[in-house]
Amino acid sequence: MRKLLLSGFLAIATIAGLSAQKAGYDPVKAPFGHGEDSVKCRMNLSLMTTSAKAENYKEALTPWNAVYENCPASSRNIYILGPRIFKSLYASETDAAKKKQYLDKTMEIYDTRLKYYSDDKKGTVLAYKAYDYMELMGDKADSKIVYQWLGEALKEMKSEMEPKDAYSYYMVASLTQFLTDPSKKNQYISDYFTVAGYVDEAISKANAANDKANADYLGLVKEGIVKAFVSSGAGDCKTLTDYYADKVEPNKADKAFLNEVINALGSVGCSESDLYFTASEYLYKLEPSAGAAIGLANKSLRDKDYDTAIKYYHEGAQLETDKNKASDYMMQLAGIFSNQRNFAKSRQAAYDALEFNPNNGEAYILIAQLYAASAQNIFPETEKRGLVFCAAVDKLQKARSVDPSVSGKANGLINTYSGYFMDTETAFMMGIKAGESVFVPGWIGESTTVRLK
Query: How many angstroms separate the CA atoms of 192 and 246, rounded?
Result: 19
Q: Identify the residue with better confidence: 377 or 13.
A: 377
Tell me the whole-structure pTM to 2 decimals. 0.58
Tell me the average pLDDT of the chain. 90
Segment holding 325, helix H or strand E: helix 323-339
Q: Say what the pLDDT of residue 236 is.
A: 83
Q: Identify the residue with better confidence: 105 or 233.
A: 105
Q: Say what the pLDDT of residue 22 is.
A: 61
Query: How many angstroms separate the CA atoms of 70 and 35, rounded?
Result: 13
Local confidence band at 16 (pLDDT 50, 70, 90 cut-offs): very low
DSSP 112-134: HHHHH-TTS-HHHHHHHHHHHHH
Query: How many angstroms separate the CA atoms of 4 and 14, rounded?
Result: 15
Segment holding 110, helix H or strand E: helix 96-116
| 26-40, 359-373, 389-403: least confidently modelled range | 26-40
- Do residues 349 and 398 touch, judged by C-beta distance below 8 A? no
Q: Say what the pLDDT of residue 30 is.
A: 87
Residue 19 clears pLDDT 80, i.e. is over it: no
Query: How many angstroms separate the CA atoms of 347 and 334, rounded?
Result: 7
Residue 11 clears pLDDT 80, i.e. is over it: no
Q: Give the burial string for 376-404 (b: 16+ CB within 10 Å, else e).
A: eebbeeeebbbbbbbbbbbbbebbbeebe
Query: How many angstroms separate the CA atoms of 260 and 342, rounded?
Result: 35
Residue 385 clears pLDDT 50, i.e. is over it: yes
DSSP 221-280: HHHHHHHHHHHTSSSSHHHHHHHHHTTTGGGTT-HHHHHHHHHHHHHTT-TTSHHHHHHH
Q: Say what the pLDDT of residue 17 is.
A: 37
Query: How many angstroms separate the CA atoms of 277 and 103, rounded?
Result: 52
- Do residues 163 and 135 touch, judged by C-beta distance below 8 A? no
What are the counts of helices (DSSP H) followed by strands (DSSP E) for the chain? 21, 2
Residue 38 clears pLDDT 90, i.e. is over it: yes
Query: How many angstroms separate the CA atoms of 127 and 121, rounded?
Result: 10
Query: How many angstroms separate the CA atoms of 304 and 31, rounded?
Result: 73
How many CB atoms lie under 10 A from the CB of residue 226? 17
Residue 9 clears pLDDT 70, i.e. is over it: no
- Do residues 449 and 390 touch, judged by C-beta distance below 8 A? yes
Q: Say what the pLDDT of residue 26 is.
A: 86
Q: Say what the pLDDT of residue 197 is.
A: 87
List the Cα angle 104/106/107 in 5-degree steps: 65
Cis? peptide before 163, omega within 30° of 0: yes
To the nearest 10°, the Cα dihedral for 441, 443, 444, 446? Answer: 60
Q: Say what the pLDDT of residue 23 is.
A: 64
Query: How many angstroms separate the CA atoms of 159 and 154, rounded?
Result: 8
Contacts of residue 177, defined as CB under 8 A and 6 or more positions apart, other chains included, come to 143, 144, 147, 184, 187, 188
> What is the mean predicted confidence (pLDDT) over 252-277?
85
Residue 389 clears pLDDT 60, i.e. is over it: yes
Q: Say what the pLDDT of residue 148 is.
A: 97
> What is the mean predicted confidence (pLDDT) over 132-156?
96
Q: Say what the pLDDT of residue 21 is.
A: 56
- Do residues 371 and 386 touch, judged by C-beta distance below 8 A? no
Q: Say what the pLDDT of residue 18 is.
A: 39
| 69-78, 122-131, 294-303: least confidently modelled range | 294-303
Instruction: Please give the backbone phi and psi of residue 181, each rounded to the nearest 5 degrees, phi first.
Output: -135, 100
> What is the mean predicted confidence (pLDDT) over 168-195?
94
Q: Say what the pLDDT of residue 4 is.
A: 33
Strand, coil or helix: 72: coil
> Which of 410, 251, 413, 219 is CA-nearest to residue 324?
219
Strand, coil or helix: 23: coil
Q: Say what the pLDDT of residue 264 is.
A: 81
Q: Say what the pLDDT of residue 181 is.
A: 95
Q: Say what the pLDDT of residue 8 is.
A: 38
Residue 387 clears pLDDT 50, i.e. is over it: yes
* Total residue count of the chain as it appears in this document: 453
How many CB atoms lie under 10 A from the CB of residue 256? 9
Chain segment 342-384, per-residue pLDDT in tens: 999 999 999 999 999 999 999 999 999 999 999 999 998 888 9
Local confidence band at 302 (pLDDT 50, 70, 90 cut-offs): confident
